[in-house]
Amino acid sequence: MDLGIHYANFTHPEWETRLAERLTQTATVADEGGLALFTVMDHYFQMIPFGGPFEPMLEGYTTLGYLAAATKQINLGLLVTGVTYRHPGLLTKVVTTLDVLSGGRAWLGIGAAWYDREHEGLGVPFPPTAERFERLEETLQIARQMWSDDDGPYDGKHFHLAETISLPQPVRGRVPILIGGAGERKTLRLVAQYADACNLFDGDGADGVRHKLEVLRRHCDDVGRDYDEIKKTVLIHGDPTADVDAFVASMEQYAALGISLVTMMPPTDDPAAWATGMAEQVRPRLEQIS
């Protein structure tokens, strides 16, 4: 099982002068410590659980571009890109650029978006839920077309592109697509049809994840997709360094379900020191889980 860090909170002591320093240190520790993935959020306002809009928040793809130069091995992505924030043709170009400049380390994490306050606050249109999912599916189709030999037009319900040209192409030919969320009717169907990976939440523990994966398997059967092709990841809350043995035991349950990567958020005011503990104490133990 692989380990990732989701850097969601920038409000640490002296963040006004040390925000970039702490972010860079944490990503560097994760990179040098052999972690598999480093992600940040795609929000313009901080979420309410982390203090809300008057706490610091960085734009996601600018941040990842910066981190691409500060790291060498670790994969980089947003958990997850909000489909409403960028036109899909431009989004695909942005992600492709990140992949090329990082040497093939970009992931396209994407979802239907939800934070209405930041949309309204900054004047970004926020369509109803059903339309956002329509736009999400068209965005996935556009990205896949731009990462193919087809550079012709795309004519959808919401998006119309005259030429889907994207040069250079991603280092691996295409960027892996991760869809975040656990909605059983729409989100997991899109995972089955378009994604290389899914990201689930641990709110209901291993039993809840088991249920979501059973739903995903049924969607795969419906669309003729090989369920085992899809990488299963989960975002876990807590601090594994407080009791590594207990954490590893719990992760064995997730690994038995097919989860191959677990991502966690730094829970302390010193994320770099926490990341060091994760790299030295937790990652080697997780790698032994098969």
Tell me what pLDDT residue 267 has: 96
- pLDDT bin (cut points 50, 70, 90) of residue 204 is confident
| 141 exposure class (CB count in 10 Å sphere: 0-12, 13-18, 19+) | middle
Containing 38, the helix (H) or strand (E) segment is strand 37-40
The interaxial angle of helices 129-146 and 88-101, nearest 10 deg, is 50
pLDDT above 90 coverage of the chain, percent: 99
Mean pLDDT of the 78-94 span: 98
Examine the pLDDT at 285 and tell me if it is beyond 80: yes
Sequence-ordered list of residues with C-beta below 8 angstroms from that of 16, at least 6 positions apart, any chain: none
Sequence-ordered list of residues with C-beta below 8 angstroms from that of 123, at least 6 positions apart, any chain: none
Sequence-ordered list of residues with C-beta below 8 angstroms from that of 61, at least 6 positions apart, any chain: 42, 78, 94, 95, 98
Tell me what pLDDT residue 265 has: 98
Tell me what pLDDT residue 44 has: 96
- Rounded CA-CA distance 229/196 in Å is 7
- Rounded CA-CA distance 240/36 in Å is 17
259 near 233, Cβ under 8 Å? yes
* The Cα angle at residue 52 between residues 139 and 64, in degrees rounded to 5: 45
Stated pTM of the model: 0.97
Examine the pLDDT at 19 and tell me if it is beyond 80: yes
Per residue in 107-161, pLDDT (tens digit) is 999 999 999 999 999 999 999 999 999 999 999 999 999 999 999 999 999 999 9
- pLDDT bin (cut points 50, 70, 90) of residue 203 is confident
Looking at this protein, which amino acid is placed at residue 28?
T
84 near 124, Cβ under 8 Å? yes
Tell me what pLDDT residue 224 has: 98
Of the candidates 29, 28, 30, the one whose C-alpha atom is nearest the C-alpha of residue 2 is 30
* The Cα angle at residue 173 between residues 64 and 283, in degrees rounded to 5: 50
DSSP3 helix / strand / coil % (the chain, rounded to 5): 45, 15, 40
Tokens standing for 225? 């997709």
Question: Which residues on neighbouring strands pair with residue 282, listed in sequence order?
Answer: none
Per residue in 23-68, pLDDT (tens digit) is 999 999 999 999 999 999 999 999 999 999 999 999 999 999 999 9
Tell me what pLDDT residue 290 has: 73
- Rounded CA-CA distance 143/190 in Å is 14
Mean pLDDT of the 64-79 span: 98
